[in-house]
């Protein structure tokens, strides 16, 4: 049975090559074939009343192996993406090279005179000795590109760069009156649309990597790559939590923090939910039906570019599900570095999604590019602190980022509840 599968191939992370990647991908495919064979045998045994605990344990071990190989594949893809980002940088202009040199001197030795001179020359008010100094544009772009490679929601959402503290997006709450009339009929007066605005404030996110004097004195160490490598994972972890479940207080508002309603009673300002029919579990019979209901709860215009979002533990529960023709709904990536798919739609791993529990919202499906907006305020700052944690030098690094749902019709959720 076809579940309106999109014709486009699933989104992929940065491509990569190498014997290690191919070996891991081959191991993943073998593990999935083993999983299918073992699960089919388990189902037949249950049908004949011969199910046993050993079969369940064996299936769980194979499932764990699948997760392990997928994680290794993701790690290799990320490692390969990082040098690519460096290779794709354009040659910086003279003023950017001067900024880069001054910034490196500040990081290595604390000498800030050159940075202050450049900021005075540029009439910059974005940096000061107390708030730190702006990193070079090239380094800021590297950090942004790495975050896009490793942050699951950022890779799916719309990302907009702003120069102010708040981004406001207008939307129509009530449209103008419309209708059909004959050529000679009187035209009723058309009301003006009512407009409102969604606000997306940029909140401060920080990381504080530490370095030894030996590392900073080593001219062979690329300061830009070192700093980007130290903070990208820390930023990505904090962003991942906030974009999923952040409460909007001093952090972005996650899509799971938005009010919800049964999809049949959906209204603007809420996300629609489809219930599994069982508290904290899938339904005992036809458990995969809720996924199909979820797909078709989304309007066709959003469905074309939709993705599933869930954590690996929820994926493990879904791997057993089949469609009416006996095909497994979950499928591994079709290429090394690709994403797994569910019912033909790309599946993004987001470990910050909640585990399955009573009333949990553990599965999201939608067009996140239309549904969720991330705003990045221009400028990443670094403040050097050689005093607080001697003999280490700390680098208080900050960026401002915001986020929230921008189209409440573009994302639907599975609720693990009886109704």
What DSSP string runs through 221-266? S-HHHHHHHHHHHHHHHHHHHHHHH-BSSSSPBPGGGS-EEEGGG-
How far is the CA of 220 from the CAs of 79, 225, 264, in angstroms?
20, 11, 61
Asked whether residue 236 falls in the same domain as residue 121, the answer is no
Asked whether residue 112 falls in the same domain as residue 155, the answer is no
Asked whether residue 338 falls in the same domain as residue 380, the answer is yes
Domain that residue 204 falls in: 137-173+194-418
86 occurs within a structural domain:
no
What is the per-residue pLDDT for 304?
93
4 occurs within a structural domain:
no
Total domains present in the chain: 2
Mean pLDDT over residues 163-170, rounded? 92
331 occurs within a structural domain:
yes
Per-residue pLDDT of 119-154, as tens digits, reads 776 655 444 445 688 899 889 988 988 888 888 999
Asked whether residue 108 falls in the same domain as residue 164, the answer is no
Per-residue pLDDT of 89-109, as tens digits, reads 565 677 788 889 999 999 999
Asked whether residue 283 falls in the same domain as residue 198, the answer is yes
Asked whether residue 152 falls in the same domain as residue 273, the answer is yes
Per-residue pLDDT of 395-406, as tens digits, reads 999 999 999 999
Candidates 264, 252, 72; CA nearest to 166 is: 252
CA 228-234-238 angle, to 5 degrees, is 135
9 occurs within a structural domain:
no
Q: Is the pLDDT of residue 80 over 90?
A: no
What is the per-residue pLDDT for 193?
65
Say which CATH number the domain at 220 has: 3.30.2400.10
16-25, 249-258, 295-304: lowest mean pLDDT where? 16-25
Per-residue pLDDT of 303-339, as tens digits, reads 999 999 999 999 999 998 988 888 899 998 877 767 8
Asked whether residue 412 falls in the same domain as residue 313, the answer is yes
Number of Cβ atoms within 10 Å of the Cβ of 87: 7
Final residue of a structural domain among 84, 104, 134: 134
Final residue of a structural domain among 134, 165, 185: 134
Asked whether residue 168 falls in the same domain as residue 130, the answer is no
377 occurs within a structural domain:
yes
Asked whether residue 355 falls in the same domain as residue 410, the answer is yes
Note the pTM of the prediction, 2 decimals. 0.80
Phi first, then psi, for residue 94 (nearest 5°) are: -60, -45
What mean pLDDT, rounded, does the chain reach? Answer: 84
Asked whether residue 336 falls in the same domain as residue 231, the answer is yes
Expressed in angstroms, the distance from the first to the final Cα of the chain is: 27
Asked whether residue 104 falls in the same domain as residue 153, the answer is no
256 occurs within a structural domain:
yes
Mean pLDDT over residues 202-222, rounded? 94
342 occurs within a structural domain:
yes
Asked whether residue 126 falls in the same domain as residue 220, the answer is no
2-16, 157-171, 172-186, 263-277: lowest mean pLDDT where? 2-16
What is the per-residue pLDDT for 8?
34
The pair of structure tokens assigned to 183 is 């050529």
Per-residue pLDDT of 331-373, as tens digits, reads 988 777 678 999 999 999 999 999 999 999 999 999 999 999 9
153 occurs within a structural domain:
yes
Run of H or E including 42: helix 19-47
The better pLDDT of the pair 179, 160 is held by: 160
């Amino acid at each position: 049975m076809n579940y309106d599968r999109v014709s486009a191939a699933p989104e992929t992370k940065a491509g990569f090559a190498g014997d290690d990647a191919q070996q891991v991908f081959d191991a993943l495919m073998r593990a999935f074939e083993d999983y299918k064979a073992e699960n089919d045998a388990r189902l037949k045994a249950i049908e004949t009343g011969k199910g046993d605990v050993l079969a369940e344990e064996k299936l769980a071990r194979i499932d764990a192996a699948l997760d392990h190989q997928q994680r290794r594949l993701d790690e290799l893809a990320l490692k390969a993406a990082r040098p690519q980002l460096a290779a794709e940088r354009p040659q910086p202009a003279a003023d950017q090279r001067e900024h880069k040199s001054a910034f490196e001197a500040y990081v290595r030795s604390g000498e800030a005179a050159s940075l202050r001179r450049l900021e005075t020359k540029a009439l910059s008010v974005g940096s000061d000795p107390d708030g730190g100094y702006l990193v070079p544009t090239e380094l800021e772009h590297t950090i942004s590109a790495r975050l896009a490679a490793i942050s699951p929601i950022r890779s799916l959402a719309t990302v907009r760069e702003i120069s102010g503290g708040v981004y406001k997006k207008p939307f129509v709450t009530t449209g103008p009156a419309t209708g059909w009339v004959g050529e000679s009929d009187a035209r009723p007066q058309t009301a003006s649309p009512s407009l409102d605005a969604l606000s997306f404030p940029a909140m401060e996110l920080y990381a504080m990597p530490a370095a030894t004097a030996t590392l900073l004195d080593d001219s062979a160490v690329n300061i830009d790559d070192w700093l980007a490598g130290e903070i990208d994972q820390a930023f990505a972890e904090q962003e991942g939590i906030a974009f999923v479940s952040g409460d909007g207080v001093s952090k972005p508002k996650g899509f799971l923090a938005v009010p919800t309603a049964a999809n049949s009673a959906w209204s603007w300002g809420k996300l629609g939910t489809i219930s599994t029919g069982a508290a904290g579990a899938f339904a005992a019979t036809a458990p995969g039906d809720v996924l199909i209901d979820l797909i078709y709860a989304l309007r066709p215009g959003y469905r074309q570019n939709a993705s599933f979002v869930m954590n690996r533990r929820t994926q493990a529960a879904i791997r057993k599900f089949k469609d009416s023709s006996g095909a497994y709904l979950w499928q591994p990536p079709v290429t090394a570095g690709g994403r797994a798919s569910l019912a033909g739609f790309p599946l993004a791993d987001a470990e910050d999604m909640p585990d399955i529990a009573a009333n949990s919202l553990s599965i999201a499906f939608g067009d996140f590019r239309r549904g969720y907006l991330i705003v990045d305020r221009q400028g990443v700052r670094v403040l050097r602190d050689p005093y607080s944690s001697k003999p280490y030098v700390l680098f208080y690094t900050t960026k401002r980022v915001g986020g929230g749902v921008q189209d409440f019709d573009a994302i639907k959720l599975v609720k693990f509840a009886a109704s």
